[in-house]
A and B are shown apart, each in its own frame.
Chain A
Amino acid sequence: MKGFSTIYGVIAEFNSEDALREAARSAREHGYRHMDAFSPLPVKGLDGILGRKGSWAPVWVFTGGLIGALTGYFMQLWGIGMNFPFNVGGRALNSWPLFIPITFELMVLGGATAAVLSLFVLNGLPRLNHPVFAAPGFERATTDAFFLCVLSTDPDFDPVLVRRFFLQETSAITVTELRR
């Protein structure tokens, strides 16, 4: 069944980080590629198992910092160097050492703003509702429950087979089919 599906995925609950890691590993070996895990804390080594590498956040922060720094420097140069030339004690109009502090502060401001924006954009937040919230017991995913979901976008996705896989080959406590 390719194309649009009313199923979001099949989600299984586990009771520890180790069980989650183990399940993710065997799902990966089983050939599933489109998966997501949910946990109350970052689980070490999980990204590698899920086949995810790095984050785009550093690129955002670098760009933000660069924009901030350039804005900071040229604002000062334009303001008191060109638009309203202001001679302070005979210093050069482009007195770059004195422009450093504000350039630096605006670089940090630009970078930090970009870091926060990247969290919103890359994580698709804010999004107050989401299919996974329907999973039974999902409110414990922010306390001590761990979930692994095989998404319906996976090329090998078949709800019945995924369900069987979770029940037979992992230590899942519950398995649920999620609707969009």
Chain B
Amino acid sequence: MVKKLFRKRSINVCIVNTGGCNGCDIEIVSCLSARYDIEQYGIYVHNNPKEADVLLVTGPVTLQWAERLKEIYEKTPEPKIVVAVGACALSGGIFKEGHVVGGVHKVIPVDAKIPGCPPRPSEIIEAILKVAPKALAMREEKLKEQLKEKNIGQNEKLKNRI
């Protein structure tokens, strides 16, 4: 609803480092520089999961992070999408044998994956722009339908009571 009226083109991104080596993080940070200028596409990077539309998850999910990541995913408002950045987030990568869960998809549902160790800033921007608008619009419609069904159900309940 809000997304359709006045935040049509804005995408708020939250970086979640679940135990990576920082390589993907600094590539996301260098997207802010004037050469790539991520804000010209309407993407705003900050680390607040409660306002975010897109969760950029980097790194293999360590054992300490498994519960926390679920909590953060639940706290993010709908509609939301998750993008896994880097080889570690895809499958556990080089740390597969270590103290990690291995892959973000084992903990929360993932919408898009960007391979590379680390992926270039241009690839990250491209992936977000390709996935985010469509996925967010689809989620929005689904939510609306759910709300309608809920409302109908509630109305019938009210009628029955009367």
Binding partners A and B: no
